[in-house]
Amino acid sequence: MEDIQKTISRAEVKGLMDYIKLAGVVDRELALAKTPAANRIRIAVLSSFNLSGIREVLLVECVKEGIYPEIYVGEYNQYNQEILDANSGLYDFSPDLLILVTDTRTVAGESFFRPYSLSDVERKEWVKTVTSDLVGLVRKAKEGMKGRVLIHNFEVPTQSTLGILENRQEYGYVKAIQDLNSALAEIFRTDPRVFVLDYELFASKVGKDRIIDYKMYYLGDIRINPQVMPQLCLEYMRYVRPLLSRSKKCLVLDLDNVLWGGVVGEDGVEGISLGPTPEGRPFMELQKLVLSLYERGVILAVNSANNLEDVLEVFRKHPHMVLKEDNFAAMKINWENKVTNMREIAEELELGVDSFVFLDDSEVNRDMMRSELPEVLTVDLPRDPALYPKTLMNLDAFDTLRLTNEDLRRGEMYAEQRKRQEYRKTVSDIGEYLRSLGTVVTIEKANRFSIPRIAQLSQKTNQFNTTTRRYLEDDVSRMAASDTYDVFSVTVNDKFGDSGLTGVAIVEKSPDRWRVDSFLLSCRVLGRKVEDTVLAHIVGLAKKEGAKVLVGEFIPTKKNVPASGFYQSHGFSQVGKRDGVEVWERSLESAYEVPQYVKLVVR
């Protein structure tokens, strides 16, 4: 797989034809390769106009990031038929993501050129009709497939046949398109399976004069300029990545000439550039943006060649330092090389290096990081610090499809974990450490508030995860409502803070045997007897309901080694293995108690 990615990274891609040629090479290599199941995705694209070339561009962009797609592109302008026909190729394909591409010309029809052939009343009815039709199509698609839907909104025209009088109309054409976009956004705002791509914003960013090549439009009904197609596919990638839990989680920052101007070891706290001056404002505003990322759940870490004392003086004494020590989950401030530090940060945070984004002003450090740890997204910071804030704002690596309460607090929770680790070093006895933490584990059955987070954890937790089965919210809701399943959420807190909903157990029940379908925990709560507490609860509940045997399943992957010995070390015996699934059993005759250092709360 790495060879395919190297082929793409070495290729010089300037236009659509280069993508098409490269896609041919990728197709041939993928036909001979065995791709990991966790990195595969099925994408369907339906459009009201000619999207020639989109498959090739999307294929290359996916594989560039280690994602291996099957892509279905519907026939020209057959989106209605494909969605409404239950036997169409769309439903046979069963996509994980359906991209529905329609445009203003399509929905406006003849009124695109003669918008004021409609009265204000008729225009309002038109908005309602178009909205209703699109919502109906999306709902029909959702009924026929399990995946998500990504629908374009509509480009607002820059010209009007009324010219400068357009904004004097009681209900003008521009206002109608804006209302249509607003209606779609509001209707799907809380739908976990439907997302609205802001095509109006995209068109504005790339330039509405560039979005269409009229010669190509008249020749082949191509309404997206082939030169713009790669940029549009990068917008699609913002949804593809989080579907496969490929979004980045941690921003790792250099300090000198990144969070402030100058070198603190040479210039001193008073001499660095940071604050409301022309030289200091870019660094101060960059810090504000970084803090905003932290507040939405991005983990922060420092990787800096510096003296620790000098750095701490800046954090603690500089009046314009926006970021504080407590915002960081890990701080490697030493004279080791940046690659070694990055590996240690990954180990300390128990994250893969593919979760990291690295900001450093040194080209040497960036080249070294790309060479030694290509999984890290190393950002090319411009030479001019005035462009730093814009560079960070344009970074889409942290996109997620949903933000849960745990997401919003992730940066804070990892920072609290750093305090636990520092405290652990001061205590020699593990028993004393566990007792002093005051850990409380709260277990409750899934509900409408916890189901989104449960689904999210099932999709992205890799290390302590016994089966790595991935479930969507609909799957979790269905099991939670069933009489044959129990779905439990696990919340952990201690004296350092609330770790949030960090665990899931899904159990299938029958009269004599209970089967643990999924059991997973965030790595940051391991080592605190949380897994033992959850198991004790399941054992107790199964015994109470008359079961005789508890069955555990383990499906080994490259990443779930931390869960590999769990069942064996907790009184289970392996009784078989089928289709790569290890089957373990434990008699429920003997009790299994909650660890003495943990308080269990059941709700």
Going from N- to C-terminal start, the domains of the chain cover 2-243, 250-393, 427-602
- Of 416-425, 557-566, 576-585, which gets the smallest average pLDDT? 416-425
pLDDT tens for 74-101 read: 999 999 999 999 999 999 999 999 999 9
Query: What pLDDT is recorded for position 534?
Result: 96
For the segment 94-124, what is each residue's pLDDT rounded down to a tens digit? 999 999 999 999 999 988 999 899 999 999 9
- SS3 letters across 487-556: EEEEEEEECCEEEEEEEEEEEEECCCEEEEEEEEECHHHCCCCHHHHHHHHHHHHHHHCCCCEEEEEECC
- pLDDT at residue number 414: 85
pLDDT of residue 2: 62
Q: Do domains 2-243 and 427-602 have the same CATH topology?
A: no
pLDDT at position 444 over 80? yes
Cα within 13 Å of Cα(339), Cβ side: 12
Question: What per-residue confidence (pLDDT) applies to 290?
Answer: 98
What whole-number distance in Å separates Cα of residue 185 and Cα of residue 152?
A: 10
381: pLDDT strictly greater than 80: yes
Beta strand residue intervals within 95-199, DSSP E: 97-101, 148-152, 194-197
What homologous superfamily is domain 250-393 in, according to CATH?
Answer: HAD superfamily/HAD-like (3.40.50.1000)
pLDDT at 333: 96
Question: Is domain 2-243 classified as CATH 2.30.110.10?
Answer: no
For all residues of the chain together, what is the average pLDDT? 93
Q: What is the CATH number of domain 427-602?
A: 3.40.630.30
Least confident of 156-165, 298-307, 380-389, 581-590: 156-165
- CA distances to 153, 184, 188, 379 from 181, in Å: 6, 5, 11, 33
Give 558-579 pLDDT, tens digit per residue.
Answer: 889 999 999 999 999 999 998 8
